[in-house]
Amino acid sequence: MTPPASVDGITSESEPPAQGASSNMKLVIILIILTPYVLYGLWCVFLLSVLPSPEGKYQELIPIGVMSCIIFGSMLALLGLALIKRVLATREITEQARIIGSVKVAVIILPGVLLSAFVPIIIPREPRLSIVLLQPVNSSDLVAPVSVTFSLQQAEKVLGMRGLKAVKYAWDFDGDGEQNDETVEPVVSAVYDRQGVYQVVARMYLSDNSQRRIVYSLPIPRAVFSTSPIRPIVDEPVRFSVEHLNSKENPIKEVRWDYNNDGEFDEVQTGVETVYTFLRTGKAVVVAQITYENQGQTRMEREITIYEPEPLPFPARISTEPEYLTSPPPLGVIFSMETEEPHYDILWNFDDGEDAIGDRVGHTFKQKGVYRVTAEVRSTSGSIARLSQTVRVVGVLRVPDLGFDGFPEVNGSKLSAEVPVTVNLTPRTSLPLIEFFWEAPKATLVDSKDTTLKAVYRRPGNYIITLIGSDPSGSVMRLPLSLEVKEPTSTVTIRMKPDGGVAPLLVRFDASETIIPGEEITGFEWTFGDDDKAPPRQGGAQVEYLFERPGTYSVTLTAFTTSGKSFKASRTIVIRSPVLDACFTTSRTSGKAPLGVSFDISCSTGVPSSITWDFGDGTETDERSPIHVFDRPGTYKVKLQLQDEAGSVSRESLSITANP
């Protein structure tokens, strides 16, 4: 009896075992068929793992993947149908064997067919679009109030690869369903001043009139005080505020500020805002200790980075009148922009809801607060320079016992003197911890403005000098004083440098401040009072003279004018005697007798009127620099005595040894 034939390796149960060679051939055929099948399965898995890509990568694989799946899937389907048809057509096996064989073929072929149908549907799909958080980079910096920058640039890029272009973007920063901003750029910033979890919703309006809705969950774990500007600049004021933490139920009573985290509070404020200027770039930790009306306390700290200022596209600066922009309300300020760059109108924002346009504008700040005034200068070439200035409007400091020491005398709020006026004023009060400084905007020369004002006015006119006082709580007093600088009377002025000293003394005399109204000075004549027989010295406004002897001398200056008039002035100078101090040196102090020694007193100071030498061998002399011979061996104590005209005496001695 002939054994029934095998169909695709499926035989009836009664079929005897196949020959070994036939079995090996079947195994080879199966491996040849399964190897590309497995590779195709791996290819499909790879496509599903990388596509669709949120970054828009591997787009070139989409047409290759779709085409390969269609071709290979069709081949698998046809191969599967052919095998199942052959199994079912085989009559040499039982019906049960045919069904089992068909199921086996379907189980092997069906996964590949399903992959071939699934992959072309999935990989061309639009990837999931996402919002990217650009700033801050580190999640630890998400501390309210914080400026957060969102970006849809990646989503815009992905859609652009599919031929879609974003027309505009609508933003809902807190997920309340209300649109907060609408932009044409894919980047936007929002400020969050309280902690919480915010659902940021962005809606992209595309060129084909379709929309894409993208959601981003933003957690802000904690809140501290705010800073303005968001990017603090070195040497520019930074405004700190806890206003967003204030509440009607439990208002803030006091805030203590530590700007360098050294454990000592730098400022105590009863208001919710303060201003500080950092003098170095880098990171700084600022601490605020808040005390509430119910005596509760909260300590907050925040690390901020102080940056170098962005370079301006062209030189420009803001000047103000007054210079010191801290005052009680109302505070009127004139702002001026100083630049040589050709520009259009300058836009000013005063941070109180009001704006202005112009190179020079005025504004009055009526309410207490800290205002960051900004100016935008657009040059005719198109570049823009942005500058800022901080104005503080604070409480009034009252100093009821304020008085002044110095010159000129202050009568009420007025001062007066003749040209040239040298102002030297120091405020005084019994109130502790009051800091004073001055503004003298039109002075010819200002030497000091802290506490004591030292300024010179050389032109007649009316001037305003302002005394500014502040206390630790931040309250400020501004007291304007009116200075009348009168036309000078005829004044011959003598200045001496130095104005006294020890003889011999070289003194420089200066008469350049001499003023004779209505006259032109032609020259000066000087007498110095130390030599009655010496003729007057003709010279200019500046001369030098050497006083060789001590004494009190009257220096007289005569100024001559073109009209033939002369004007005189004199000053007294005291030239002191140098301190009398005996000192001498010798050519040698020992040697073989007879021993000759020379003596020199040039190291002595003062002006001796008598000199006495005692050589210790019974001889004396009054010579200034004698030479003496010690004839016999021995040790001699040489003594020098000096005496001046005032009767002062100075002595010095030294031992000389003459050896045998």
| DSSP secondary structure letters along 209-237 | S-EEEEEEEEEE-EE--EEESSS-BTTSE
Q: What is the pLDDT of residue 3?
A: 47
Q: What is the pLDDT of residue 429?
A: 92
What's the CA gap between 470 and 396, in Å, rounded?
9
At the topology level of CATH, where does 224-306 sit?
A: Immunoglobulin-like (2.60.40)
What's the CA gap between 617 and 641, in Å, rounded?
16
Give 61-87 pLDDT, tens digit per residue.
778 878 888 888 788 888 778 877 887
Q: State whether the Cα torsion 38-41-47-49 is positive or negative.
A: negative
Asked whether this chain's domains 224-306 and 403-486 adopt the same fold, the reply is yes
Assign 379 to helix, strand or coil: strand
Position 337 confidence tier, pLDDT thresholds 50, 70, 90? very high
Give 395-450 pLDDT, tens digit per residue.
899 999 999 999 999 998 899 988 889 999 999 999 888 999 999 988 999 888 89
Q: What is the pLDDT of residue 29?
A: 63
8 A C-beta contact, residue 239 and residue 227: yes
**Closest residue by Cα to residue 238 from 341, 372, 396, 362:** 372
Q: Show me where the domains of the chain are located.
A: 20-122, 132-222, 224-306, 317-393, 403-486, 495-576, 585-659
Token pair recorded at residue 314:
């062209």
544 Rama class: left (phi>0) / alpha (psi -120 to 50) / beta = beta
**Closest residue by Cα to residue 124 from 65, 68, 73, 49:** 65
| Between 84 and 202, residue with greater pLDDT | 202
The residue whose two tokens read 């302002």 is 466
Q: What is the pLDDT of residue 8?
A: 45
What's the CA gap between 201 and 175, in Å, rounded?
6
Q: What is the pLDDT of residue 26?
A: 59
Secondary structure E strands in 495-645: 495-497, 500-502, 505-510, 521-527, 537-539, 542-547, 551-561, 566-576, 585-586, 590-592, 595-600, 610-614, 620-621, 627-630, 634-643
**Euclidean distance between the first and the last CA atom of the chain, given in angstroms as a whole number:** 161
In this structure, the strands spanning 222-223 and 143-144 are parallel
Q: What is the pLDDT of residue 361?
A: 94
Mean of the per-residue pLDDT values for the chain? 85
Write the CATH number of the domain with boundaries 495-576: 2.60.40.10
What's the CA gap between 582 and 51, in Å, rounded?
105
Architecture category of domain 585-659 in CATH: Sandwich (2.60)
Superfamily of domain 132-222: Immunoglobulins (2.60.40.10)
What is the percentage of the chain residues whose pLDDT exceeds 70?
Answer: 95
Q: What is the pLDDT of residue 566?
A: 87
Q: What is the pLDDT of residue 114?
A: 84
Token pair recorded at residue 238:
């930074």
8 A C-beta contact, residue 510 and residue 495: yes
Phi/psi for 422 (5° steps) reads: -105, 105
| Between 563 and 34, residue with greater pLDDT | 563
**Greatest CA span in the chain, whole angstroms?**
170
For residue 23, pLDDT beyond 70: no
518 Rama class: left (phi>0) / alpha (psi -120 to 50) / beta = left
Min mean pLDDT across 31-35, 98-102, 311-315 is at 31-35
At the topology level of CATH, where does 403-486 sit?
A: Immunoglobulin-like (2.60.40)
What's the CA gap between 600 and 623, in Å, rounded?
10
Q: What is the pLDDT of residue 653?
A: 93
Position 487 confidence tier, pLDDT thresholds 50, 70, 90? confident
Secondary structure E strands in 24-93: none
What's the CA gap between 407 and 425, in Å, rounded?
6
8 A C-beta contact, residue 204 and residue 268: no
CB neighbours (10 Å) of residue 594? 11
- CA contacts within 13 A on the Cβ side of 351: 19
Assign 414 to helix, strand or coil: strand
For residue 296, what is the DSSP state? -
- Crossing angle (nearest 10°) for helices 95-122 and 20-50: 30
Residues with Cβ within 8 Å of 145's Cβ and at least 6 positions away in sequence, in order, are 191, 192, 193, 194, 223, 224, 225, 226, 227, 244
Give 225-278 pLDDT, tens digit per residue.
888 887 888 878 888 888 878 888 888 889 999 998 888 888 888 888 888 888
- For residue 101, what is the enclosing H or E element? helix 95-122
- Crossing angle (nearest 10°) for helices 20-50 and 61-89: 150
520 Rama class: left (phi>0) / alpha (psi -120 to 50) / beta = beta
For residue 6, pLDDT beyond 60: no
Cα three-residue angle 355-243-474, rounded to 5 degrees: 85
Residues with Cβ within 8 Å of 191's Cβ and at least 6 positions away in sequence, in order, are 145, 146, 147, 148
For residue 175, pLDDT beyond 80: yes
Helix, strand, coil percent values for the chain (each to nearest 5): 15, 45, 40
pLDDT winner (highest mean) among 152-156, 291-295, 337-341: 337-341
In this structure, the strands spanning 132-135 and 146-151 are antiparallel
Q: What is the pLDDT of residue 12?
A: 43
In this structure, the strands spanning 211-220 and 196-206 are antiparallel
Phi/psi for 460 (5° steps) reads: -65, 150
CB neighbours (10 Å) of residue 131? 21
Give 93-122 pLDDT, tens digit per residue.
777 877 887 788 778 788 878 887 887 877
8 A C-beta contact, residue 627 and residue 621: no
**Closest residue by Cα to residue 316 from 285, 359, 276:** 359
- Tell me which amino acid residue 54 is: P
Position 510 confidence tier, pLDDT thresholds 50, 70, 90? very high
Q: What is the pLDDT of residue 332?
A: 92
Write the CATH number of the domain with boundaries 317-393: 2.60.40.10
Residue 485: exposure state from Cβ atoms within 10 A (0-12, 13-18, ≥19)? buried
Position 621 confidence tier, pLDDT thresholds 50, 70, 90? very high
Q: What is the pLDDT of residue 258?
A: 93
Q: What is the pLDDT of residue 1?
A: 40
| Between 168 and 60, residue with greater pLDDT | 168
Give 338-361 pLDDT, tens digit per residue.
999 999 989 999 988 899 999 999
